[in-house]
Structure 1
């Protein structure tokens, strides 16, 4: 198994203010009536497969099929009347756009969603079905550029990760995990722009300070790994099939959280992420997207490093992919 690990350098001397546990607790209260408190359960199948106890946080059972509903709801509920009236705009590789579209409709806020044409077909359809005004671009970089123009025209940005309110919303995943799981030594979290891992790490640092947090990216979607290696955010080239992790760069806000709170970021090849989806389906009875499938090969690496005393936690971030897409990737990588 080829997994590269990028450990972060010494934390920078000047760090932007990190999200605190009080911010996350306030977000949890705000969104409680709008999102699902997803199950946190032991996985006998994964425990047998990895040889140590494994607990999974099932965010694929969240509204809209991923954790993104949390941050989107927290942000939408924080808007002023003027911002609500102006409407919101979001850019996304899939899940964030669906979450903003669905939750904005539920809260009677007009939403525009910008996605690359490479986004999962199901995500594009769901955002449109929810009533959002959908704009498609040739890639994620073009999506971010279009959103900048729409924001200048007066729409209120709901950023997928560069927003403390959104990060606090995503941090409620970690809050619930800390409260509901049995013993944990290591928690693995997928990384795109870094909003989820920033919030989860902040929550776990406060509630379970001895737990190590590991980030997981796919090769060709290494915005956080490259930022950690460079000492700060920078634009990166994208080539991964995992579009839901394909941020063209992380933000200073998410970088500061990860460089301060996260042990390492592991990089998993696309093939192993897709194989992880197949293994999760077979051994854990979970239908996941590759953004969650990448956790399993990374978990094998963490288990090897930590040894028999490991007690692993996996944040299964989402399941928004179709049978056709999974089978297509599996055939592409010779896994069938």
Structure 2
């Protein structure tokens, strides 16, 4: 097992991004509490700049780059949110950026990345996007990886840092924290933070069928390529990394897998019962929460609402 990040790394990342990100709220959800029959906290990271947690990692990474690395221009590969974050952060900093996305990435993310000034290149699928990004890196661009980077993982852990501190301040910290998984950077960072700060929490990852990179890695004993069939592009990493696999194996209680349809239904339930518009990558947590409560009826839940970069059509398309 490689070196794992710790709370000190997350606190260092918090210093790098202070004043550059929204300090998003953690709030009780009476509607979801009534729906699920258990106390529910929501970490509202969909209110973050660029509509997801991703700018945290991008800003922290940018802070560590040399002038030469910035001048070479950034390249990012993304199912949507990471690319949009790189485009916005790079554009604001005057750094050129190429963002590679699959053709089925959310239209909002593609349009937003272009509006921020990035050179957006579309590929047939996410494995092809990773391949093209690798070629651009080999040609000299500076890669900002969405999850295979300890700086990025530590910065995503600031979500968990805030969640844990807010949960303690509210008087009844969560016993169970649910985080969706693409490549596992957010889950790795959040698990590190909440396990350091909360009293023995269970941390659960949630994937969708056909985007099971972390489940496959856990079953195989290490990262392994997976075939992507899920319609939820923001969770569709072609494999976990050794870095995220090591964190999840050490610090996550279990990874749950739900269907695309359940993830979409969860987005609708978040809108109807919590007044929160969130993409299916966050909606999957509602289905995951039901599974947790089946096993632990006395749980107090916290759901990390990771992003909101989905149009109505994007949400409804996978439902069939």
SS of the residue 1:292 aligns to: helix
Moved more, 133-142 or 186-195: 133-142
Moved over 4 A (4+): none
CA distance in 1, matches of 2:290, 2:28: 17
CA distance in 2, matches of 1:152, 1:327: 38
SS of the residue 2:207 aligns to: strand
SS of the residue 2:174 aligns to: coil
Matched, 1:190 2:212: no
Q: Aligned residue for 2:67? A: 81
Q: Aligned residue for 1:8? A: none
Q: Contact (CA 8 Å) 2:30, 2:40: kept in 1 or not?
A: yes
| From 141, 155, 158, the counterpart of 1:172 | 158
Shift of 1:326: 2.2
Matched, 1:316 2:305: yes
Q: Aligned residue for 2:131? A: 145
Aligned length: 316
User: Given the two structures, how large is their TM-score scaled by the length of structure 1?
Assistant: 0.93
Q: Aligned residue for 1:305? A: 295
Q: Aligned residue for 1:248? A: 238
Matched, 1:207 2:164: no
CA distance in 2, matches of 1:21, 1:108: 31
CA distance in 1, matches of 2:96, 2:9: 26
CA distance in 1, matches of 2:114, 2:278: 22
Q: Aligned residue for 2:91? A: 105
**Structure 1 unmatched ranges of 5 or more:** 1-14
Shift of 1:209: 4.5
CA distance in 1, matches of 2:300, 2:315: 29
Q: Contact (CA 8 Å) 2:180, 2:207: kept in 1 or not?
A: yes
Alignment of 1:241-280 (within 5 A): 241-280=231-270
Q: Aligned residue for 2:121? A: 135
Moved more, 203-212 or 193-202: 203-212
SS of the residue 1:294 aligns to: helix
Q: Contact (CA 8 Å) 2:101, 2:126: kept in 1 or not?
A: yes
Quick one: structure 1 residues 43 and 108, their matched pair in 2 at CA, closer, same or farther if it must change by over 3 Å? same
Q: Contact (CA 8 Å) 2:264, 2:316: kept in 1 or not?
A: no
Q: Aligned residue for 2:53? A: 67
**Structure 2 unmatched ranges of 5 or more:** none
Q: Contact (CA 8 Å) 2:58, 2:152: kept in 1 or not?
A: yes
CA distance in 2, matches of 1:41, 1:118: 32
Q: Contact (CA 8 Å) 2:260, 2:318: kept in 1 or not?
A: no
Shift of 1:110: 1.0
Shift of 1:317: 0.4
User: Given the two structures, how large is their TM-score scaled by the length of structure 2?
Assistant: 0.97
